[in-house]
Amino acid sequence: MPFNESSRVGGAGLLALVATYGIGRLAYGLFVPSFEEEFDLSLDVLGFYASGAQAGYLVATVATGVFTARYGPRTPVVTGCLLLAVGAAVIASASGPALLAVGLIAAGTSAGGSWAPFSDAVARQVPQAGSRRALALVNAGSPAGLLVASALMLATGEQWRAVWWTFAAIGLVAAAASWRVLRPDAMGPVVDNRWPRLAWFFTRHSRPLLLVAFGLSITSGAYFSYAPETVQAAGLEAWIGPAMWATLGISGAAIGAFAGRIVKRFGRGGPLALMLVLVSGSTLVLLLAPGSTLAALGSAGLFGVGFTTAFALLVMWSQQVFSDRPTTGFTLVIVFIAAGFIIGPSLFGVLATSVGRSAALLVTAIPALLVAPVDPARDKRIRPLAPW
């Protein structure tokens, strides 16, 4: 049954991304003010922590691509969820900056095992009629995770350690759900487990996709790491961070979950360009009105819609370009995404420390806007390439 399989696989993916991506990789910025105060850390050091987590994610993504191509998606997804649980527990119990860094890197690395494998899981386990819905559900896990993190932060006040203990429990639940749903006997055999040559990855069809992923991720990485800290530094109360992330999660999940329908009705090129403009514009809103509560919440809402929908469209674009090997091809896309997420926080942290937050916001808003004119409409592989 298309609906049943798309719901099962998409739901498991949503839960896995709530844990590893929404919480482990993207919720970091929500806790920057707490980490800054608790451990007496500067913005540039916290930026390097965020980039270290993204570097771990990059390494895990490459390893996951190789492993999934050979053995299937269940093991890397479950491992990623368990790694999130361990990293969250280390953060919750950290007594100093060193342990905090270890926990943050482990939590950030966890997402490398969960996102890409669901491209294969959907391709093999979900009938084609339900594939777009399943992919949109999986992608909605990112904003849903931010919504969970925000709700917990608002509910517990300043008790950020209790929130991270809860994150550890969520990781364990996601691991159990993925183990149950991603059954090896439910998926078709891998046709060929050899790794493609480099030329298979870089073609005239894939290069625009990689460029957009990179530009979008530089801007997004900076926003996720520093948006709450930026508005709090401008004089807003501590509750604004969780409120921004809740707004981001609600708006992202509400619109991003319908990315498949958006593509069906309007195509991919126009909506993707609009989402890139929203991501860039949401950063500029913080530059123009950093001390405004309405602007902060509006920025988060715009960013949630732009980020979630843009990445859902990237997933579908990658599925088309690398249709013969979804996870293998998407692994390269995630490498470029991770590279952007490494550069973004470090760039913002260094600029904010040396020349001020305004310059940091302006510079990091530019990459997403620069790639908005790239047109994905014609980038389609007519047939699988012979990669070996």
Predicted local confidence at residue 193, as pLDDT: 53
Predicted local confidence at residue 43, as pLDDT: 82
Predicted local confidence at residue 334, as pLDDT: 82
Predicted local confidence at residue 302, as pLDDT: 93
CATH fold label, 2-184+195-370? Growth Hormone; Chain: A; (1.20.1250)
Instruction: Compute, in degrees rounded to 10, the torsion defined by CA atoms 239, 111, 170, 159.
Output: -30
Rounded CA-CA distance 86/369 in Å is 37
Predicted local confidence at residue 279, as pLDDT: 95
Predicted local confidence at residue 21, as pLDDT: 87
The sign of the dihedral angle between the CA atoms of 121, 127, 132, 133 is: negative
Predicted local confidence at residue 57, as pLDDT: 86
Q: Which of 299, 329, 322, 263 is nearest to 29 (CA)?
A: 299
Predicted local confidence at residue 259, as pLDDT: 63
Contacts of residue 157, defined as CB under 8 A and 6 or more positions apart, other chains included, come to: none
Q: Tell me how far CA of residue 235 lies from CA of 96, 229, 239, 255, in angstroms.
A: 27, 10, 12, 31
Rounded CA-CA distance 196/185 in Å is 25
Rounded CA-CA distance 179/182 in Å is 6
Rounded CA-CA distance 223/340 in Å is 12
Side-chain half-sphere CA neighbours of 374 within 13 A: 27
User: What would the DSSP string read from start to end of 68-87?
Assistant: HHHH-SHHHHHHHHHHHHHH
Token pair recorded at residue 372: 């908005």
Contacts of residue 76, defined as CB under 8 A and 6 or more positions apart, other chains included, come to: 64, 67, 68, 113, 114, 117
- Tell me which H or E stretch contains 282: helix 269-288
Look up the pTM and report it. 0.76
Predicted local confidence at residue 140, as pLDDT: 76
Residues of the chain with pLDDT under 50: 1-3, 187-191, 381-388
The amino acid occupying position 152 is L
Query: For the chain, how big is the Rg over CA atoms in Å?
Result: 19
Predicted local confidence at residue 388, as pLDDT: 34
Rounded CA-CA distance 177/78 in Å is 9
Rounded CA-CA distance 167/88 in Å is 6
Are 342 and 55 in contact by the 8 Å Cβ rule? The answer is yes
Are 51 and 108 in contact by the 8 Å Cβ rule? The answer is no
Contacts of residue 311, defined as CB under 8 A and 6 or more positions apart, other chains included, come to: 139, 142, 216, 256
Longest distance between any two alpha carbons in the chain, whole Å: 57
Q: Write out pLDDT tens, residues 354-374.
A: 998 899 999 999 999 999 988
